Structure 1
Amino acid sequence: MILGLRTGYDVPMPVPPSGPPLGLQLAETARTVSRAFDEALSTVGGSRPAWQILMALKNRPTANQRELATAVGIRGATLTHHLDAMESDGLLTRRRDPNNRRVHLVELTERGERSFHTMREAAVAFDQRLRRGLPPEEIERLSELLARLRDNVTDEEDGTDHSTNRH
């Protein structure tokens, strides 16, 4: 061996974590919870995309499609598909923006308002089901841990170092 060169064999390897990887546990839990939430919404005639769109429209009563796509976190074409179905169900209306005819403004109808309240009741009941048996301090801790996991993933993607303990 030439002096000064490292072979990598003398560098300590990290100890593998015990138990299943966190990412796998989180993905499986998210999938299970997501399916159960979809089922809860479907029992009242809703869907997760419709619920997210209705919530976005409640926060911004007259929004354009680009704003809605951003708020919901989906692409424009996917949003258009959902809006078409929701419009045909009478939940919302679309009209051209008088200031920019290329832009469609989206608004809830009375039926959309009723649907929002019905889905909100289902969402609240589902949230209560999720919280069952968890004391408030555990829920707060879970929220903190989930935020840290999101930060860990985001940090790696954007190169930001948030390794200092913020909690």
Structure 2
Amino acid sequence: MVEAGGTLPVWLTLLSVKSSELANQRELAGMIGIQGATLTHHLNAMEAQGLLTRQRDPLNRRVHLVRLTEAGEALFETLRQAALVFDKRLRTGLPDERLAEFARVLAVLRENVES
């Protein structure tokens, strides 16, 4: 069932919709870090699969609001569980203090790139 460019774009889209109740397409594209046209392609496929719905914002007819369906919620939960298992496996053998230091290094690298 998951085809729209693979599992990662679907997971990121589901996660973004889930975390931002009734987000519009422009906001979702920004959260995911992709262009609006690319997101539209993914949303079209996911809507055809019954994973989400889009409806016009009654306050701004140019904007589509995106919401997960029951099937989208179920797929989100399945992928969330897989992500948790993978994260646990990925962190095996790494103490919390090393992970915290790694996060600090990544934050500095991000700041350097953004400035």
* The two structures share one fold, judged by TM-score above 0.5: yes
1:102 corresponds in structure 2 to 62
Q: Which runs of 4+ in 1 moved over 6 A?
A: none
SS, match of residue 112 in structure 1: helix
CA positional deviation for 1:48: 1.0
* Cα deviations by residue, 1:37-57 (Å, 9 ceiling, x for unpaired): xxxxx7xxx611111111111
1:59 corresponds in structure 2 to 19
Q: Give, as a single letter, the amino acid of the residue that structure 2 aligns with 1:118.
A: T
CA positional deviation for 1:149: 1.2
SS, match of residue 50 in structure 2: coil
CA positional deviation for 1:109: 0.3
TM-score, length-scaled by structure 2 = 0.90
TM-score, length-scaled by structure 1 = 0.63
Flag structure 2 segments of 5+ consecutive residues without an equivalent.
none
Flag structure 1 segments of 5+ consecutive residues without an equivalent.
1-41, 156-167
CA positional deviation for 1:129: 1.5
1:49 corresponds in structure 2 to 9
Task: State the number of aligned residues.
Answer: 111
CA positional deviation for 1:151: 1.5
CA contact (8 A) 1:87 1:93 kept: yes
Q: Would you tell me which structure has more helix in proportion to its own residues?
A: 2
Structure with more contact order per residue of length (Cα contacts < 8 Å, sep ≥ 6): 2
SS, match of residue 63 in structure 1: coil
2:98 corresponds in structure 1 to 138
